[in-house]
Amino acid sequence: MAKLYFKYGAMGSSKTAQALITKYNYEENDLRVWLLKPVTDQRDGLCTIRSRIGLEAEAETIAPQQNVYEIFASRRDADVVIVDECQFLTPEQIDQLRKIVDDFSIPVLCFGLRTDFLTKAFPGSARLLEIADNIEEIKTICDCGAKATVTARIDGNGYVVTHGDQVFLGGNDAYIAMCHRCYIKSIEEHRVVKLHTH
């Protein structure tokens, strides 16, 4: 039976790489993949998904006002739907993905962040936590060795940022995965955090 999957992790947990590997595995079995990303994420170009380890693929971009269900229903040309950076989808679009699963028995796999740099849930992620059939954490570690659960935003001087817009696109130069303890200590002690810019 088809399911709606939410696979989340902090920055640097290989979410995009896993999405692209999943795409490859389906295609190796002669299954057609509809690879999507929200138009919000244009770091690698409008129609490209690229992982930090160098994997990449062309993807269709979805704008907030688009109805994902209607697009799929008009084409029905995929056996599976894979979404990268799903946190940027609207809650309504998450419901539309749910409807694809229910009406067409097509698995939908969503990869993305659970929370923003202030540990608040993204609206798309919150909806996935409410209605996904399968929720799986993709783990990564903090510099201290503990499990990282926070995607901290870092300013140009290396300090943890505690205010600003929820959406600010960046990579290793702007975000770092941290455990909650180190995140809070970095804020309280106003200490410089080492970014991983390799």
Amino acid at 81: V
> Residue ranges of the alpha helices (H) in the chain?
15-28, 68-75, 91-104, 123-131, 180-188
In single-letter form, the type of residue at position 96 comes to Q
Residue 85 annotated to the active site:
yes
* Cα 3–Cα 91–Cα 107 angle in degrees, nearest 5: 15
- Residue with the two structure tokens 């929820």: 166
Q: What is the dihedral of CA 35, 41, 44, 47, to 10 degrees?
A: 40
Of these residues, 70, 85, 137, 188, which one is catalytic?
85
Between helices 123-131 and 91-104, what is the axis angle to 10°? 30
The catalytic site residues sit at 85
